[in-house]
């Protein structure tokens, strides 16, 4: 195999390798979620009471709740935008 053939083979292999799956940030507990979102625990409890974070709950066994952090952030931001829409002039 010549150097040119090797380079073309290496390029074809690199172009067809699948990209790694995105890593989900799983967060265990309300306190950890509050730290992740940068708010207080009472805000997280309020969001749960208003059922905003229901789609972000991965597991809920007993008192332990596991959240998908990225999904929780998206849901909280969407809820915040609905409550306080930006004023456009």
In this structure, of 16-20, 34-38, 78-82, 83-87, the range with the lowest mean pLDDT score is 16-20
pTM of the model: 0.68
User: Is the pLDDT score of 22 beyond 80?
Assistant: no
> How far is 76 from 83, CA to CA, in rounded Å?
11
CB atoms near residue 3 (< 10 Å): 7
Per the model's pLDDT, the better-predicted residue between 18 and 54 turns out to be 54
Give 13's pLDDT tier (boundaries 50, 70, 90). low
- Which pLDDT does position 12 carry in this prediction? 73
Q: How do residues 42-61 score in pLDDT, each as one tens digit?
A: 999 999 999 999 999 999 88
Q: What single DSSP character describes residue 20?
A: P
> How far is 26 from 50, CA to CA, in rounded Å?
21
């Amino acid at each position: 195999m010549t150097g040119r053939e090797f380079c073309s083979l290496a390029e074809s292999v690199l172009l067809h390798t699948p990209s790694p799956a995105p890593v989900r940030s799983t967060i265990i507990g309300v306190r950890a979620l509050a730290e992740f979102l940068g708010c207080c625990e009472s805000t997280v409890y309020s969001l749960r009471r208003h059922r905003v974070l229901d789609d972000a709950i991965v597991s809920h066994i007993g008192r332990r709740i596991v959240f998908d952090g990225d999904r929780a952030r998206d849901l909280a931001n969407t809820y915040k935008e609905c409550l306080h829409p930006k004023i456009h002039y």
